Copies of this chain bind each other. A is one copy, B any other.
């Protein structure tokens, strides 16, 4: 079979790899129906994260179960499944506490898993999924082709946008600012609207992204950044800032923008993967009582809540995909996202 391997920054190849095999009793083998490229995949692609050796890459996929190990009880061959961007057993204390990204027995696609094998990357034709009963969530039936992109977002971006909104406390009567107009930021707008936020500001300079943000529920768009952006946000909200600010980028600048855009007593929900000097100014947080909460999103815990609305068409997060390519053209998918020619690229084998 074929899968995506990153050999070095900028060097993405779709190449022949061994077929996956069941290696623990709890594994499943999933034939991928759709996968995609994440903003965080661009960090090694851009050389900001090191690539010491060639490595399987990708962590968002949906597909059909082809085989299951003898200990798998819930997931069956033939199920259409959503896989989160990590594996988890959903039985340990952290999973039960709603934080399956901290699963005591879980791991990450493309990394050594903790069961002795080597976890496949998500951008391949077939994938071995550890802890299949925990990691995978089966849809109520076989989805139409048009529904697949929307379901795929539950593997990462929509669940991550939802996590930002929940961590920041978006809800009825709250004012929300979203920092970041990538796929996660756009999903954070959609999640905030779904949770009933009163007013949602998308910070974006890109006309197409602004349009999608408005379609997702943004009531206002602010193009300014930095001090000017903060001034605009304060102007919109009583001179003091918004109740909730969602940080969906992961840079020092975006976190600073978020902290300064929140009103005293407000809250920053953050899901951008921190890069660079990743510290928070505790003294400023102390003075302003602005809280910070978030992190790597436990999207598997959110599937139960979000799937019904995606399944019946009320929630259409798949609109974040603005380019679709055959998986064999995955190198072009990375280039398109790197050059911001695409928000998010969907790949079909």
Bound-state Cα–Cα, A98 to B264, Å: 9
How many Å lie between the Cα of A296 and that of B167 in the bound state? 21
Q: Which residues of B contact A72 (CB under 8 A)?
A: none
Within 8 A of B (CB), among A94-122: 94, 97-99, 101-102
A288 within 8 A of B: yes
- Is the pair A289, B296 in contact by a Cβ cutoff of 8 Å? yes
Please pick, from B273, B282, B283, the residue contacting A286 in the complex, using a CB distance under 8 A.
B273
Q: Which residues of B contact A294 (CB under 8 A)?
A: 285-286, 289, 291
- By secondary structure, the A interface counts as mixed
Contact of A196 with B by CB under 8 A: no
Interfacial chain B residues near A296, Cβ < 8 Å? 286-287, 289
Residues B295 and A274 in contact, CB atoms below 8 Å apart: no
Q: Please, how many angstroms separate the alpha-carbon atoms of A43 and B228 in the complex?
A: 36
Q: Give the interface residue-count category, chain A.
A: 35 or more
Decide yes or no whether A267 CB sits under 8 A from chain B: yes
The reply to whether B239 and A93 form a contact with Cβ atoms under 8 Å apart is yes
Chain B residues within an 8 Å CB radius of A97:
240, 263-265
What would 10 A/B residue contacts be, using CB atoms closer than 8 Å?
A: A93-B238, A93-B239, A97-B240, A97-B264, A102-B240, A102-B264, A102-B265, A270-B282, A278-B283, A291-B292
A263 to B281, CA, bound (A): 22
A239 to B94, CA, bound (A): 10
Is the CB–CB distance between B279 and A94 below 8 Å? no
Cross-chain contact B289 with A278 (CB below 8 angstroms)? no
For A291, the chain B residues whose CB sits under 8 A away are 167, 291-294
Q: How far is the CB of A127 from chain B (nearest CB, A)?
A: 24
A76 to B290, CA, bound (A): 35
Contact flags (1/0) for A77-101 with B, using CB distance below 8 Å? Answer: 0000000000000000110011101
Contact with B along A142-180 (1 / 0, CB 8 A): 000000000000000000000000010000000000000
Fill in one digit per residue for A252-284: 1 if any B CB lies within 8 Å of its CB, else 0.
000100000001110100100110001111110
In the assembled complex, which residues on chain B have CB atoms less than 8 Å from the CB atom of A283? Answer: 274, 278
A102 touches B279 (CB 8 A): no
Count chain B CB atoms within 10 A of each CB in A287, A289, A292 and give the residue with the most.
A289
Does the CB pair A264–B167 fall under 8 Å?
A: no
Among B101, B267, B273, B292, point to the contact of A285 (Cβ < 8 A). B292
Q: Are B288 and A102 in contact (CB under 8 A)?
A: yes
Closest-CB distance, A14 to chain B (whole angstroms)? 30
